[in-house]
Amino acid sequence: MLTLVVASTLIINHNSRIAAAAAQGAVHLTALTELCKTAKAGKTVAALLTNRITKLTGWEAEYSLFCQKIATVQVMEAQPSMQLATLKEFANTTLSAIESELKELAEAAPSAVAKTAYAAGLIADFVAIFTSTGDTTGINNVCIINGGSDETKVGDSDLGYCFAQAVRAKTTNDELKTLAKPRFNFGDKAGLTAPKSCPPTKADGTTYSGGTAGELKPAKWGSGVLTSTYGGSDVTLTSTKRGLPAHEAARSAAATIKTKIKNTECKPVTSTEDMRALLMADPADETMLTAIKIATNKLKDIGYTPTITDVERIFGFNGKHENVPFIKILDQYKVTIQEDSKTEQTKQTEVMKLTETKFQKAKKKQLAKTSNPSPKRRLIKSARAQTRKQQRIFAIRSRMQLNATTSLSAVITKVQLRVTKSANLMKKSY
């Protein structure tokens, strides 16, 4: 009797192992779509970072020029003004924020792009393999099922989201949010539908290996998103990214980039219209309000919060009118630039309207004035040089005369001593 029980137990256990070994099933379209979204997001990170860094680089150049323009006007103005001091702090604060974000993204971008793209590629391979299986009837060897019927094989039209490989030119931070999630959202479709015979999920390993069954290693589809183990139980998708190195690395990299990339727009101030829009913005530009606190030495004053009224007061205008007197005053500051290098034709141009090229021409013109003075200045400089030369010659002659006088005095003294000595000897002889 005992022998019969033991034998029955062994048979049951053996049959269980056989059932487990045969465990396989199809992935539901809902779960696959989640993987497709993640892979698509991973492919867009490079485009997202490229777009942002390109923008930041352009803004950096524009605000660097704006800072130089304000500094030039400050040098030219008769006396310091609060308006220019505020604009200077606005430009510097904006430029500092741009450079800070640019520096952080430039450091983190290469690693983030590599990790997210690698994880996306692993998922893409997994999707490609599972979408390529199945016969034309949709009954046998089906790896992806659709909708409410477990008997329906998905068509290419159902997988359009997965097949679309083109990355949008304009990407947003939504992709980073998707990648930064700690889990794949499979909903209630994380399990495989057992009735379907999906070859890649066979737990006996016969689909992907012809080696010794007992030595088969687990097949990790999508780098572990779906793992099929020889002799294992029913295959399921792994929703958590922890424990899946490639996907955890991509998640971590995306989360890091998400904290560094900003969505702020730093519109350059390159024209009178840009300046008017900046000053008359309602609500007031936050960076401008910060600049007011810095310019008025109230940055640490917790009780002071600048408003649009402060902008209007400092720049002398009423928000109801488009006339801003300060802008007209600003247009009065002009510099001379050389329009034609051949004819040396010059033109007076408003400082605030200078492009980078024209600004460099203005600097070159000013440098030329400094290094190549006018004929009158050259004459004065030459006269001063001649005077200094004559002074040096006079000093040399004076030293020579002094030395000569000293030597002559010494000779005369010696002669006098000899004459005195001879006179004394003559007296003694008498």
Between CA 257 and CA 417 the distance in angstroms is 100
Q: Report the candidate in 221, 250, 261 with the shortest Cα–Cα distance to residue 41.
A: 250
Residue 239 clears pLDDT 90, i.e. is over it: yes
> Of 190, 187, 200, which is closest to residue 142 (Cα–Cα)?
200
In terms of pLDDT, which residue wins out, 413 or 278?
278
Give the CATH number, domain containing residue 181.
Answer: 3.90.150.10
Determine the average pLDDT of the residues in 264-281: 90
- Provide the pLDDT for residue 330: 87
pLDDT of residue 143: 83
Two tokens, residue 89: 């702090």
pLDDT for res 169: 54
Which residue, 345, 360, 375, sits at the end of a domain?
Answer: 375
Residue 313's closest CA among 300, 297, 324, 329? 324
Assess whether pLDDT exceeds 90 at residue 295: yes
The answer as to whether 422 is a domain residue is no
Q: Say yes or no: 233 and 325 in one domain.
A: no
Best mean pLDDT range from 9-13, 160-164, 258-262, 398-402: 258-262
- Strand, helix or coil for residue 234: coil
User: Among positive and negative, which fits the CA dihedral 406, 408, 411, 412?
Assistant: negative
167 inside domain: yes
Give how many domains the chain has, as a whole number: 3
Same domain flag for 256 and 279: no
Residues 175 and 234 in one domain: yes
Select the highest-mean-pLDDT range: 33-47, 184-198, 328-342, 361-375: 33-47
Q: What is the mean pLDDT of residues 46-75?
A: 92
Asked if pLDDT for residue 23 goes beyond 90, the answer is no
Residue 412 domain-assigned (yes or no): no
What's residue 192's pLDDT?
82
pLDDT at residue 334 in the model: 86
Helices (H), 213-322: 245-260, 272-279, 286-295, 308-315
User: What average pLDDT does the chain have?
Assistant: 76
The mean pLDDT of 195-214, rounded to a whole number, is 68
pLDDT digits (tens, 9 = 90+) for 381-405: 544 555 554 555 555 555 544 554 4
151 shares a domain with 35: yes
Tell me, yes or no, whether 413 lies in a domain: no
C-alpha span between 407 and 35 (Å, rounded): 106
Q: List, in order, residues 6 or more apart from 88 with CB less than 8 Å away.
A: 67, 70, 71, 74, 295
pLDDT at 260 exceeding the cut of 50: yes
For the CA atoms of 269, 262, 94, 294, the dihedral, rounded to the nearest 10 degrees, stands at 130
* 195 and 51 share one domain: yes
**pLDDT for 252 beyond 70:** yes
240 and 208, same structural domain? yes
pLDDT tens column, 118-164: 999 999 898 888 887 665 555 566 788 876 555 566 777 777 767 66
The segment with the largest mean pLDDT, out of 28-37, 252-261, 309-318, is 252-261
Residue 251, pLDDT > 70, answer yes
Q: pLDDT at position 1, please?
A: 39
Judge whether 8 lies within some domain. no
Rounded to an integer, the average pLDDT of 160-183 is 76
- Lowest mean pLDDT across 175-179, 186-190, 423-427: 423-427
Torsion of CA 307, 309, 315, 319, to 10 degrees: 120
Same domain? 325 vs 340: no
386 within a domain of the structure (yes/no): no
Q: Are residues 294 and 341 in the same domain?
A: no
Q: What are the φ and ψ backbone dihedral angles of 293, each rounded to 5 degrees?
A: -65, -40
Q: Is the pLDDT of residue 37 over 80?
A: yes
Whole domain around residue 99: which residue ranges?
20-260
Q: Is 99 helix (H, G, I), strand (E, B) or coil?
A: helix
- Same domain assignment for residues 220 and 324: no
Residue at 222 is within a domain: yes
Q: Contact at 8 Å (CB) between 122 and 222?
A: yes
Q: 129 and 236 share a domain?
A: yes
Torsion of CA 23, 25, 31, 32, to 10 degrees: 120
**347 and 284: one domain?**
no
Question: Tell me, what DSSP letter sits at residue 196?
Answer: S
pLDDT of residue 351: 86
Is 304 contained in some domain? yes
Assess whether 79 and 166 both reside in one domain.
yes
User: For residue 375, is pLDDT > 50?
Assistant: no
What integer is the mean pLDDT of 301-329?
86
> Is the per-residue pLDDT at 224 higher than 80?
yes
Last residue of a domain, one of 239, 260, 281: 260
pLDDT tens string 78-102:
788 899 999 999 999 999 999 999 9
